[in-house]
Chains A and B, each alone.
Chain A
Amino acid sequence: MQNILTKDEYRKYVEKVSPKSKLLRNTIRAFVVGGFICIIGQMFNNLLKARGYGPDIVSTITPIIMVFLGAFFTGLNIYDELGRFAGAGSIVPITGFANSIVSPAMEYKSEGYVLGVGAKMFVIAGPVLVYGISVSVLAGIIYYIIK
C-alpha cells in the first residue's frame, strides 16, 4: 500500500474524505444545554441566598446539589442521552464531573465493590483532581511569593 500513497498523503486524503461533525449545530446545543444547567445552579444560589445563607455556605451547598443531580440522572440512564445531544454542554458543568465518576462506578460493579467500584471510580475524573489540585498548590505558592 505504501507504493501508491505515502503515510502523509494517506493521512491528508483521509482528512479530506472523512465526514466532519456538524460544528454549528453541536456548538449551539452545547451552549443551550450548558447554559440551562447553569441556570439551575443559579436558581439554587438564589434560593439559598433568599433563605439568608451567606456566600460561603451557598458556594458549598450548591455544588453538592448539582453533583447529586448529575449522579442521580446518571443512575437513571438519562445523563448519557443528554451527553449524546449536548456534548460539552453536559461534560463541562460540574454535573459532568459527577457523571464521569458515577458512570465507571456503575459499570465496574461486576468486578466487585473494592477493586471494581472503588478503584475504577476515578478512571476519568482522577486526572481532574490530580491536575486541579497540583496547579492550585503551585498557584498558592506563587501567591505566597508575590504577597
Chain B
Amino acid sequence: MVNTVLSYINAFIIGGFICAVGQLLIDKTKLTAARILVLFVTSGVILTTLGIYQKIVDIGGAGATIPLTGFGYSLAKGAFGEVDKYGLLGAFTGGVKATAAGVTAAIFFGYLASVAFKPKAKR
C-alpha cells in the first residue's frame, strides 16, 4: 500500500519536474514544440547511455518513462539489449523494436482519429 502511494508521489514529482524543465525552455528560449520534443528524446538516449536515466526510472517509474525522455530511454535500452544478443546489428534493430508499440499505436490511432474526428476552431 505504502509502496503504491509512494510510486504515485515519485511519478508526480519526477514527471512534473521534467515537464517543468520543458516549460522553462519554451518560455525562456524561442524553441517550438517540435524542437523541444527532439531535444527531450535525444537527451533521453544520451542520459541512458551515460547510465544516469536508469536511476531516474528506478525512482520515478512512469514519471520517467511517460515523458518523451522515456521514449529515448526505451530506444537506447532496446539498442543495447539487441547489441548484447546480436552484436553490431543490434544497434540498428534494437531501438525500433523496443518502441514499436508506442510508434505503431501513434500511427494507427492517429489514422483512426483523423477518420472519426474533425478539427474545431479555437475561440
Residue positions of A touching B, CB distance < 8 A: 20-21, 23, 26-46, 59-64, 66-68, 71-72, 74-77, 80, 86-89, 91-98, 100-103, 105-109, 113, 117-118, 121, 124-125, 127-129, 131-133, 135-144, 147
Contacts and interface: CB of A to CB of B under 8 A. Distances in A.
A42 B11 contact: yes
Interface of B: 4, 7-8, 11-28, 33-38, 40-42, 44-46, 48-49, 60-63, 65-72, 74-76, 78-80, 82-84, 87-88, 90-92, 94-96, 99, 101-103, 105-107, 109-120, 122
Contacts of A142: 49
Contacts of B115: 109
B91 to A, nearest CB: 3
Contacts of A102: 106, 109-110, 113-114
A76 B117 CA distance: 7
Contacts of B26: 26, 87-88, 91
Contacts of A93: 15, 19, 66-68
